[in-house]
C-alpha cells in the first residue's frame, strides 16, 4: 500500500475544485436545457468536461421553479424511445436469446443515466449531483412525475457510493473546523450545542466519532456515529451527555480499560443520498476497528430512542383493558405532555411500561410486516439483538414525550449478526436477550392480547 | 477544499488492504460458487463484506481452468429470469407506460451487476475485480459465451471509473518506487530500459509524466503520458529519447522558456479496464494544467507512430502503378526488413512516401469507416488535427519496418477540438494543417486514385 | 523536493509523542535533581532518552515552589567551574593563541547548555522545554539569580528556533480545530470573540491568516498574522472587523482584484520563546508569498495601534503651551476616559492630534534612543515606512483611551526595507511618507519644540 | 498530535526550496566575502534571508581553490577580537563573578557561529551548510588552520541536528525513488548492486530499513540501518544477502513469527555531519519500535564485520610464538590474499582464529584506550554485548581478507544497555556472553600473553 503518494493525488481533486471557480466565468449563452441536449451528442463526447461545468454553473443559479422546470425537461425528454423498446420487447418475445436480451437491455436504459454519467466529468460534479438530488427530493413530493428521474439518479448514486469506495475516518478535535462545523449541523439525534459541546463529544479519551467519506466529496461526511467507551452497558443518555468539565467524572476511570463501546448517536448527513444505506456498514466497521484498537472492548451496544413508542402505547391503551388501572392509563396519557415532574413522581410505571416497550419493539409491525419502530427496524435489520429496555433512559422532555423516557440497547455481536439478520429477513424473527424475554413473558402472561401468538413462536427462536 | 484532512482518510484504504491480508486466514469451506450464491441472498446483505472477501480470497488461488469454470457458473446462473423478462415485455407491449417500463428495466437487469456491486464491499475489492476482468478477457477469446459476463463487468467498471472519480497525478523522480516500477513495466510505445532510462524521462526540467489514478486503486496508474517540453515541434523521436547524461544537450536551453509540449508516449496500464477510455481525458487535462503551470507553452502536439503504414503501403503498391518506379517499389519492399543502412542510403524516398503517409492517415478506413491507423483513430477522434508527417522520425529498426521511419504530429488546440471532433464524428472529416494539405495535393495530383473524391471534399473543410 | 514522503515522516513525531504518554508510567524513584545530575554523566550518554523523559515527567508534576527549587538547583550547580575558567583565562592572557582561546571557550561553556541539549533527546522534549522557560520567566522577576539560567535557555532556543527551521503555514477554516482554538486564545491585539468571529477572520476570500510553526512543536503556532485584502489602504480597524454575515459588504467587490494587503493583527503565541523574534520574518515572508499568489497586490501595509500615545500626549501637554487652547487641553484630558460620545462631538481635534501623533512616533524616544512606541519600534526596526496616521482609526473604548482613536499605517516596500532599516539602525532616521512629512511640518512649524532639530535632519532623508 | 495539518506545513519547506531556484537569478555583484561581511552587520539584520541566499548561490559556483580562499577568509576574519577577550579574561581573574563570566562568554563567542546562524535564514540553507562542511572536511586535511572553523560549524550542526529534531522513517519499496537512489549510493557496508538488489533488501516481509531524517533536509537520509527478521541469530552474511527470487527460501517461513531482528548494515550518509553521532539513537529507536510492532521479536543483534582483525592478527603473529604452528602461521598469512579456495580447504583454523578474534575485540586497544576495532568501539560504546564470533561469517574475498571470514554478533538488550555502557565508559569493561567467555579462556589459557591480566579482571564482570 502506498499512502503518501496517494495523499498528493488528492490535491488534484482540490485543484479541480478550485479551477471550477476560476473558469466558471466564461459562462455559456445557451440555456441549461440546450447544454443538456448537447451533452448527450457527439459535442458532449468532445467537450463533456466543459459542457458539464457550464450546466452545473447554470444549475446553481436557478431558483426552485426553474429547477422544477429543468427536472421536468429531463424527465420528459431523456427517456427510452418507446418505439425501440417495443421493437426490442417484441423481438425478445419472439426469440428470447442472449442477443435479444442485450438489445432489450440497451433499449430500456434511461438516457438520464448516460446524461448524469457525462455530467460527472466536470470538476467537482459529484457533490453537485448529490446537491441536485437533494433539490429534487424536496420537489418530488408534489411532483410525482419526477419519481422516475429520481430513481435513475438514485440508481447511479448507489453505484458510485458503493461501500467499497467509502473511507471511514476518525473525527476528532484535530479534524478541520470546516468538517466539524458540519458535524454540529448534521447531528440529528442529540443536538450539539456549539463548539464547547462538540469538543466534549470528540476530545476525551472515552469518546470516539467516526464518519464515512467519499473521495469525490472531500469536505462532506456522509454519515457519522458517536461512540462512548464505558465500563458497562449504560441505560441513560443523560449519563453519557453530561458535561465533562473540570471536576466532573469521566466515563471510565483513568486506570481502567473500557469494556463497552456505546453507539449513542448516528446521523446521516446528505439528503441527496437518501435511500442509499451506509449506517449498517459504518457500525460494523467501527465494531471491527475498535476491537482491534482496544482489545479490552468486549461489548458493542447502542443506546437508542424509541421514537414512536408513546404514540403507539396511547393508541394501544384505547383497546387493551386488562391489567392497567384507569389511574395508570390517565397518568400515561398525561405524561405524553413531557412533564418531568409528573414522571419523577411515579415510580411504579416501569412495571407496566417496560413489558409494553418490548411488545412494541418485537410485535408492532408496519404495513410491510417490519417493526413499526424505525430505529428497531434499522438495528434488527442489521442483525443486532434487542438487548435491554431502560426505564429513565432519556429524561429530556422529548424523551418523556416520545417514549416515557424509555431507551433501548441493541447489541452488535459480530458472530451472531449474520444468523440474526437471516432469521429476521427470512422468518421475521427478532433476536432478544434473556432479560427482554423475561419482560416479554410478563407482558404476554398478563395480557393474552393479539400479539401473543407471534411472539411465542418468536421467543422459541430467541436466545 | 480540504486536502490534508482527506489525506489521512486514505490511510484507511491502506489499512483495509492490509486487513485483507491478515484476515484471509480463516478461509471458508464453501466453494466459490456456493459463496457467490450466498452473496446474492439475505446472507449477502448481512455479511457482504465477509463473503466478498472470502470469494476474492478463493478466486486468487484458482488456476485458469477453475477460473473459466467459475466464469461459466456466473454466466449461466446469474442471468435475468427469462420468464420475468417475457412477462414484463408482454406487459410493456400491452401497456407501454412508465410503470411497465420500470418493471421491464428491473426484469432485464443482470443479477451479475448486483453480484459485483456486493463483491465490491470487500476491502480492496475494486483492484481484484479489475484483475478478474483481465483474466476474463484472456479467456473470452476462446469462450465467446462469456462475452455477456464481460459486458456486465465492463458496464459496471465504466461507471466506477468515470472520469469524475479519477485523479491526475504528476509522476516524477519523487514518486514511490513501487509506482515507478509499474511505469517501466507498462510503457507500451517506446520501451524504458531500466531505472536510468526512466530517470531520464522523469527528472530533467524539460520532462513531465502524468497519470490517472483511482482512489480505490491506490498503487496502480490507469494510464500515463510522457511529455517533453521543447522549443519547436519535433519530428524525430530519437532526438527526444537521446541520453541526457553529462555533456549532452537538454531539450531546451536553460535560459529559455519552453514553447511546445510534446506527447511522445501514452500507455494504458490496466488490461482489466480495456474498453474504458481514459486517454482523451488525460491529454486534455494535461494540456489544461500545463497551460496554467507554464504560460509560455503555446503548442500541444504529439509525436506518434503510424503502426500500420508500411503494411498498408506495400499492399497499396501492389495495385497502384502510377508515379512510382519499379526501383522505388523494390526499395520500399526491402525496407520493411528494417535495414537502417539501406534507409540512410536513399534520400529520395521522402517525396514518394510522405504524400502516401497522408493518404494512409486521411483516407484509409477500416470496416466501420474509421481511420485504419489506430493511433490516428484515437487522436482524430479526440478532435486533434493532423499537423505534420516527418521523414526520418523514427530510425529504430521497428520504426523503419512499420512506417519507413515516418512519424506524425497531431495537434491539440483546445479551441478547435470540439469542432474537429464533431466534424469527424458526424461527417467523417479529418482536420489537417496546410502542410499536410500540400502533401495531400501532391499525392492527389499524381494519382487520381479512388480516395481522391473523399479527400477533396474533406480538404475543403480543413484549415 | 519531496513532500509526500516527508509527510509520513511526521507521523513519527506524533508517535513519539504518544509513546511519551504510554511509557511515562514506569516513573523513576530518583528525584528530578538526581536524574538531572545523571543526565550529564556517562549514564546520560547511554540513557539520555529515558532520563530526559523521566525528568520531564517529573517536571510536569511540580508545583511552582518545587519548580523554583529545581531552577535554583540548575542555576547553582550547572555552572562552569571557576577554577577551570580562571586557569584558562590566565593561560589566554599569557599566550593568546587559537589553542588557548579554544580552551577558554570550553571552560566557559555553561553545562546547562549540554544539559538541555541532552534533555531534548526525549520524545516531545522541545515543547516541554519551551513550557519550562515560560515557567522560568514567570518566576525570574522575583528571582533575579535565575537570569543566567534563562539566558542559557534562550540562547539554545534561539538556535533551535532559527528562522531556517520554521515553516510558514496558511491558517484557514480547514485548519484543525485544535490549532484554531489556540488562535482564539492567543490573539493579543483585537480579541476574537468565539468561533463565529474566528470564521469571519479566516474564511472570506478577502482574508488570510499565516503562522510560523516548528517541526518539533507540531500543534503550536509560534506567531500568526491576520491579513485583510482590500482596494485601498484602510484607516479604520472597525471597517475591517465589521461582521460579514448576510447582507454585509465584503472588503473587496467580487469582480475586483485586491490591491492592498493589510496586516491588522500580529500575535506571539509562546511565552516560552520571549525574546526570540519571529515577527519580522513572518511579515516579510507573507509579503513575498502573497505577491506571488495574488499579483494584483501592490501595497503591503499595517493598520497598527499606538499603544502609548495618549499617555505621552497628556504628559506632553503639561509642558507645551503653544497652539493648544485650554479647552482643547481639557477635552483631550477627558477623552482618556474613553468616552465615545465626547469623541464624536468634537471634530476639530484631528488637526491638533495628528501632528502630535507624528511627533510621538518619530521623535519620542526611550532610554535606548529607540522609538517610545513599541509598535513603531518593531515596524520601523523592520525597515517599514511610517505611511499614514488615521483619525477615527479605532473607535473602541480602548482605542480612544490609548490613542484618541488614532491608528497608524506602516508600509512594507520590499525594495526599501534594507535601506530603511540601515538608516534607522545606524543613524536613527525614520522613513516617512509625504503625507506624514506634511503633518510633521505643521507640528514643527507651530511648535518650535525641543524635537524640532532632530526631526529636521530626519526629514531630509525621508522620501 | 496533529499530523495531517503539519503534513501540509512541509509543502512550505519545499516551496521555499523552489523559490530558491527561481530567485537566484538576480545575483549580486558583490563578492562572497563582501556579502559575508554584510551579513554580520545591520544590513544582515534587515536582509538576512536575501544575503544568505546570495552567499549560498555564489558558494555553489565556486571551485575548490575559491572555496579554500573563502574558508580562509572566514577563519581569519570572523574570530573573537583578542583585545576584548583579553580584557574580559583579565576582568574575570580580578572579579570572577557572574557578570564577568557573562562578559567573557560573550567575548569568546566566535562570530562564525552568528554568521552561520544568519546564513541559515535563507531558504534551503541547512542542506547547503551541511554540504559546505563536507567541502571543508575535504580541504581541512591539508589546511589545519581551518580546523577551528570546522569546530564552529560542527558545534552549530550538532545543536541543529540534536536527536530531538530527527525523525525516524521506514524506508521501503514505496519510498520515493529520489530517496532510494541515495540509499543505493550511501550503503557503505555491503554494496547494493542496483535496483533489483535494493528491492530484495526492502520489500520482503522479513526485511526492514529505517533512517533518520531532519525536517530541513527533506530529501536526504542522515543514516540508515538495514534489518533482517529471522528465527535465530545468524552467523553468516551470505545467508542474509542471498537472492530471494523465485524458488528461494525467505528468511522466515510464512507461517512463523520472527524471533530475531538482525542489524546487518548501518551507513552514515552525510559527510558534512561527520562527528555528529546518530547510530546509537537509531539502533535503540529501531529496537524500541520493532518490539512494539512485532511482539514476537525477542532478540536484537547485529551481524558485524571486524574490519581490522586480519591486519592485527598478522602483526600479532610476528611476536606471539606459542600454540600456533609454523604451518598455520603461513596459512593465515596466505589467507590475507582473500583466496576462497584455500580458506575452504582448511577447516582447522577456526580453533585458532576464533579465540584470537575475541582477544582482538576485547583486549586490543587504540591510543585512547578504546577498542582498536572501530565497529566494536561503536557497539560496545553503545552498551551492546559481545555475543558471538562466527567462523565462515563472510566468505566474500573482502571478508576473508580483512577478518578470515569471521563476523561478530553484538547483542542489544535494552535492560542491560545502560549498565554495560557505564562499565565500559567508566571502567573499560566489555560485556561478553558465556560463549565468548569460553573462547576467551581458551585463548587466555594457552597464551599467557600481555592481555591476560586485563581480560581476567574484565571477565569477572561479564555475564
In the predicted model, is pLDDT for residue C26 greater than 60? no
Q: Let me know: does C32 contact D40? Beta carbons within 8 Å.
A: no
pLDDT grade for A299, boundaries at 50, 70 and 90: very high
Burial class (CB in 10 A: 0-12, 13-18, 19+), C406: buried
A174–C contact, CB cutoff 8 A: yes
pLDDT of residue C450: 39
Q: What percent of chain D has pLDDT over 70?
A: 87
Could you tell me which of A323, A444, A349 has the C-alpha nearest to residue A406? A349
- Please give the interface size between A and B, counted as residue pairs whose CB atoms are below 8 Å apart: 229
Burial class (CB in 10 A: 0-12, 13-18, 19+), A340: middle
Among B20-24, B250-254, D230-234, which stretch is predicted with the lowest mean pLDDT?
A: B20-24
**A109 to chain B: closest CA residue:** B105
Distance CA D208, CA D222 (A): 17
Distance CA C269, CA C225 (A): 11
pLDDT of residue C25: 41
End-to-end CA separation in angstroms for chain D: 42
**A86 to chain B: closest CA residue:** B93
Q: Residue A164: which of B50, B104, B121 has the nearest Cβ?
A: B121
Give me the mean pLDDT over the B440-449 stretch. 59
Q: Is the dihedral of CA C417, C419, C421, C423 positive or negative?
A: negative
pLDDT of residue B320: 67
Could you tell me which of D257, D328, D301, D256 has the C-alpha nearest to residue D393? D301
3-state DSSP helix/strand/coil % of chain B, to nearest 5: 55, 10, 30
Distance CA A360, CA A353 (A): 10
B7–D contact, CB cutoff 8 A: yes
pLDDT of residue A44: 83
C7–B contact, CB cutoff 8 A: yes
**D18 to chain C: closest CA residue:** C1
pLDDT of residue C428: 86
In the predicted model, is pLDDT for residue B354 greater than 80? yes
The predicted-structure confidence for A367-422, as pLDDT tens digits, reads as follows 888 899 999 999 999 999 999 999 999 999 999 999 999 999 999 998 899 899 98
pLDDT of residue C320: 67
Distance CA B91, CA B73 (A): 30
The predicted-structure confidence for C68-78, as pLDDT tens digits, reads as follows 999 999 999 99
For residue A366, give the DSSP letter.
-
Instruction: Pinpoint the alpha helices (H) of B169-243.
Output: 177-186, 195-202, 237-241
Q: Let me know: does C210 contact C286? Beta carbons within 8 Å.
A: yes
The predicted-structure confidence for B176-234, as pLDDT tens digits, reads as follows 999 999 999 999 888 899 999 999 999 888 999 999 999 998 889 999 999 999 999 99
pLDDT of residue A42: 82
The predicted-structure confidence for C260-296, as pLDDT tens digits, reads as follows 999 999 999 999 999 998 999 999 999 999 999 999 9
Burial class (CB in 10 A: 0-12, 13-18, 19+), D411: buried
Give me the mean pLDDT over the A183-189 stretch. 91
Give me the mean pLDDT over the C125-143 stretch. 96
Residue C359 CB coordination number (10 Å): 24
B387-B393-B395 Cα angle (round to 5)? 165
pLDDT grade for A138, boundaries at 50, 70 and 90: very high
A9–D contact, CB cutoff 8 A: no
Scan residues 40-79 of C and list those with Cβ closer than 8 Å to D.
Answer: 42-43, 45-50
Could you tell me which of A122, A300, A296 has the C-alpha nearest to residue A225? A300
B182–D contact, CB cutoff 8 A: no
Distance CA C294, CA C296 (A): 5
Distance CA B301, CA A176 (A): 42
CB contact under 8 A, A177 and C178: no
> What are the phi and psi torsion angles at B109 (to 5°)?
-65, 130
Q: Residue B89: which of A12, A93, A117 has the nearest Cβ?
A: A93
Q: Let me know: does A33 contact A58? Beta carbons within 8 Å.
A: no
List chains adjacent to chain B, taking adjacency as at least 3 C-beta pairs closer than 8 Å. Answer: A, C, D
- Tell me whether residue A214 is one of the annotated catalytic residues: no
Beta strand C260-268 with C299-302: parallel, antiparallel or unpaired?
A: parallel
pLDDT: is D342 or A394 the higher one?
Answer: A394
CB contact under 8 A, D175 and B175: no
What's the mean pLDDT when you consider all of chain A? 86
Residue D168 CB coordination number (10 Å): 23
Report the run of H or E that residue A410 belongs to, with start and end. Answer: strand A407-411
pLDDT grade for C21, boundaries at 50, 70 and 90: very low
**B5 to chain D: closest CA residue:** D4
In the predicted model, is pLDDT for residue D1 greater than 60? no
Among A404-418, B62-76, B150-164, C435-449, which stretch is predicted with the lowest mean pLDDT?
A: C435-449
Give me the mean pLDDT over the D107-118 stretch. 94
B173–D contact, CB cutoff 8 A: yes
The predicted-structure confidence for D129-168, as pLDDT tens digits, reads as follows 999 999 999 999 999 999 999 999 999 999 999 999 999 9
Strands of the D207-213 sheet, one edge to the other: D167-170, D207-213, D223-230, D260-268, D299-302, D407-411, D385-390
Q: List domains and CATH numbers for chain B.
A: 3-160 (1.20.140.90), 164-302 (3.40.630.180), 309-460 (3.40.630.150)
Cell triple for C124: 516531545
Residues of chain B contacting A425 with CB distance shorter than 8 Å: 42, 45-46
Amino acid at each position: 500500500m502506498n499512502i503518501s503518494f496517494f495523499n498528493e493525488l488528492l490535491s488534484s481533486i482540490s485543484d479541480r475544485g478550485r479551477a471550477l471557480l476560476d473558469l466558471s466565468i466564461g459562462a455559456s449563452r445557451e440555456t441549461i436545457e440546450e447544454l443538456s441536449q448537447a451533452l448527450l451528442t457527439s459535442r458532449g463526447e468532445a467537450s463533456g468536461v466543459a459542457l458539464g461545468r457550464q450546466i452545473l454553473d447554470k444549475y446553481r443559479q436557478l431558483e426552485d421553479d426553474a429547477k422544477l422546470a429543468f427536472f421536468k425537461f429531463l424527465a420528459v425528454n431523456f427517456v427510452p424511445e418507446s418505439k425501440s423498446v417495443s421493437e426490442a420487447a417484441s423481438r425478445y418475445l419472439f426469440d428470447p436469446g442472449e442477443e435479444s436480451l442485450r438489445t432489450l437491455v440497451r433499449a430500456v436504459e434511461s438516457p438520464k443515466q448516460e446524461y448524469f454519467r457525462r455530467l460527472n466529468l466536470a470538476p467537482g460534479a459529484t457533490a453537485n449531483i448529490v446537491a441536485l438530488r437533494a433539490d429534487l427530493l424536496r420537489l418530488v413530493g408534489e411532483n410525482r412525475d419526477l419519481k422516475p428521474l429520481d430513481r435513475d439518479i438514485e440508481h447511479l448514486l448507489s453505484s458510485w457510493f458503493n461501500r467499497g469506495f467509502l473511507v471511514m475516518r476518525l473525527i476528532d478535535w484535530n479534524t478541520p473546523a470546516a468538517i466539524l462545523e458540519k458535524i454540529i449541523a448534521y447531528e440529528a439525534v442529540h443536538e450539539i450545542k456549539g463548539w464547547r459541546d462538540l469538543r466534549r463529544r470528540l476530545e476525551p479519551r472515552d469518546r470516539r466519532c467516526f464518519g464515512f467519506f467519499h473521495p469525490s466529496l472531500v469536505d462532506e461526511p456522509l454519515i457519522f456515529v458517536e461512540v462512548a467507551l464505558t465500563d458497562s452497558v449504560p441505560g441513560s443518555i443523560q449519563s453519557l451527555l453530561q458535561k465533562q468539565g473540570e471536576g466532573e467524572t469521566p466515563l471510565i476511570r483513568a486506570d481502567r480499560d473500557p469494556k463497552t463501546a456505546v453507539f449513542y448517536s448516528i446521523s446521516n448527513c446528505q439528503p441527496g443520498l437518501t435511500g442509499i444505506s451506509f449506517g449498517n456498514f459504518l457500525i460494523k466497521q467501527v465494531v471491527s476497528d475498535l476491537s482491534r484498537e482496544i482489545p479490552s472492548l468486549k461489548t458493542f451496544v447502542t443506546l437508542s430512542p424509541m421514537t414512536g413508542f408513546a404514540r403507539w402505547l396511547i393508541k394501544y391503551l384505547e383497546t387493551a383493558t386488562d391489567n392497567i388501572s384507569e389511574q395508570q392509563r390517565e397518568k400515561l396519557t398525561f405524561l405524553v405532555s413531557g412533564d418531568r415532574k409528573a414522571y419523577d413522581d411515579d415510580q411504579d410505571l416501569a412495571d407496566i411500561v417496560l413489558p409494553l416497550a418490548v411488545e412494541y419493539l418485537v410485535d408492532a409491525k408496519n404495513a410491510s410486516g417490519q417493526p413499526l419502530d424505525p430505529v428497531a427496524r434499522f438495528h434488527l435489520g442489521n442483525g443486532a439483538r434487542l438487548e435491554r429496555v431502560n426505564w429513565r433512559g432519556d429524561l429530556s422532555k422529548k424523551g418523556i414525550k416520545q417514549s416515557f423516557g424509555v431507551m433501548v440497547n441493541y447489541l452488535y455481536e459480530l458472530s451472531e449478526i449474520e444468523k440474526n439478520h437471516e432469521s429476521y429477513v427470512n422468518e421475521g424473527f427478532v433476536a432478544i436477550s434473556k432479560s427482554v424475554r423475561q419482560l416479554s413473558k410478563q407482558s404476554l402472561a398478563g395480557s393474552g392480547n393479539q400479539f401473543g401468538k407471534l411472539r411465542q413462536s418468536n421467543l422459541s427462536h430467541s436466545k
